[in-house]
């Protein structure tokens, strides 16, 4: 498999300015793809952009991916991050990569190219948990539903795993591991604890800190960084604390 031969043959492809063995192509207005060979010339680092293409940012991503190629390509973690990525005017703080299986960039039309393509995108530290917290299915869902890597103008969507059971609404999660959700789902379920004795919400942030909230007249918070004792909180204070815990 020669990634360079395949990509350089795509319709409308052109050399990416300022990077050797790199290309840009745009099949339709508003949808841009860029890719660069890895140092071993056997893998491809690809950036997708939908209505947000920034040539300078994309160049920085491809250069950083090639420089950190051995780290991105090693191991079997579906999602990998390299801390310290910066670009002027942006708040991103990590270089992120999704391996084949977590992304599906060429799965249908170029299945052989899919096997050697790593999706590269800018991210935020709070969006990624430890590698052992992701199954391939979790990584794929996170990549597609939460990280939206083709939006190069996006803000952070923190990693958040939630497990809950509500005795009044009858809503809840199945199994011990919970589900990945957006913060708005957590906030809604915390609010719904009001007047639901025997109910709870448990949530895990990107640092692996687990918090549990039970309801008994008030909201009762336990867990966290130090596994602290239970505290009774008003809803407003609880929501502020929950939001902060997802980012720091």
What is the DSSP annotation of 126-155? GG---GGG--HHHHHHIIIIII-TT-TT--
Rounded Cα gap, residues 156 and 187, in angstroms: 17
Where do the H-state alpha helices sit in 74-110? none
Look at the block and give the residue holding tokens 């917290």. Answer: 133
Q: What local confidence, expressed as pLDDT, does residue 226 receive? A: 58
Rounded Cα gap, residues 84 and 94, in angstroms: 6
Domain ranges of the chain: 3-147, 161-245
Distances (CA, A) of 27 to 11, 34, 88: 8, 12, 28
Low-confidence stretches of the chain (pLDDT beneath 70): 225-228
Nearest to 103 by CA among 86, 121, 91: 121
Q: What local confidence, expressed as pLDDT, does residue 225 receive? A: 64
Q: What local confidence, expressed as pLDDT, does residue 230 receive? A: 85
Q: What token pair was written down for 74? A: 């090693």
3-class DSSP state of 237: helix
The answer to whether the beta carbons of residues 35 and 45 sit under 8 Å apart is: yes
The answer to whether the beta carbons of residues 50 and 151 sit under 8 Å apart is: yes
Q: What local confidence, expressed as pLDDT, does residue 22 receive? A: 98
Angle between helices 235-245 and 183-191 (to 10 degrees): 160
DSSP letter at 144 equals: I
Q: What phi and psi values does residue 32 have, to the nearest 5 degrees?
A: -125, 140
Rounded Cα gap, residues 40 and 157, in angstroms: 33
What beta strand segments (E) does 29-101 contain?
A: 31-37, 44-50, 79-83, 94-98
Rounded Cα gap, residues 85 and 209, in angstroms: 24
Q: What local confidence, expressed as pLDDT, does residue 135 receive? A: 87
Query: What dihedral do alpha carbons 86, 88, 89, 94 form, nearest 10°?
Result: -10
Rounded Cα gap, residues 176 and 134, in angstroms: 14
3-class DSSP state of 141: helix
């Amino acid at each position: 498999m020669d990634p360079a031969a395949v990509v350089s043959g795509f319709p409308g492809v052109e050399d990416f300015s300022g990077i050797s063995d790199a290309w840009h192509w745009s099949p339709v207005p508003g949808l841009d793809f860029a890719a660069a060979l890895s140092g071993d010339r056997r893998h491809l680092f690809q950036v997708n952009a939908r209505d947000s293409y920034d040539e300078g940012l994309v160049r920085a991503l491809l250069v950083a991916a090639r420089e950190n190629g051995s780290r991105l390509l090693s191991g079997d973690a579906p999602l990998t991050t390299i801390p310290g990525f910066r670009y002027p005017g942006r708040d991103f703080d990590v270089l992120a990569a999704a391996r084949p299986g977590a992304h599906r960039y060429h799965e249908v039309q170029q299945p052989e190219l899919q096997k050697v393509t790593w999706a590269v995108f800018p991210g935020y530290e709070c969006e990624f948990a430890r590698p052992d917290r992701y199954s391939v299915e979790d990584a794929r869902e996170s990549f597609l539903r939460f990280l939206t890597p083709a939006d190069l103008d996006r803000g952070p969507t923190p990693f958040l795993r939630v497990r809950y059971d509500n005795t009044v609404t009858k809503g809840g999660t199945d199994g011990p591991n919970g589900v990945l959700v957006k913060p708005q789902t957590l906030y809604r379920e915390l609010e719904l604890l009001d007047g639901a004795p025997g109910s709870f919400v448990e949530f895990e942030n990107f640092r692996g800190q687990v918090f549990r909230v039970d309801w008994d007249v008030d909201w009762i918070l336990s867990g966290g960084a130090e596994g602290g004792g239970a505290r009774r909180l008003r809803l407003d204070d609880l929501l502020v604390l929950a939001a902060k815990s997802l980012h720091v």
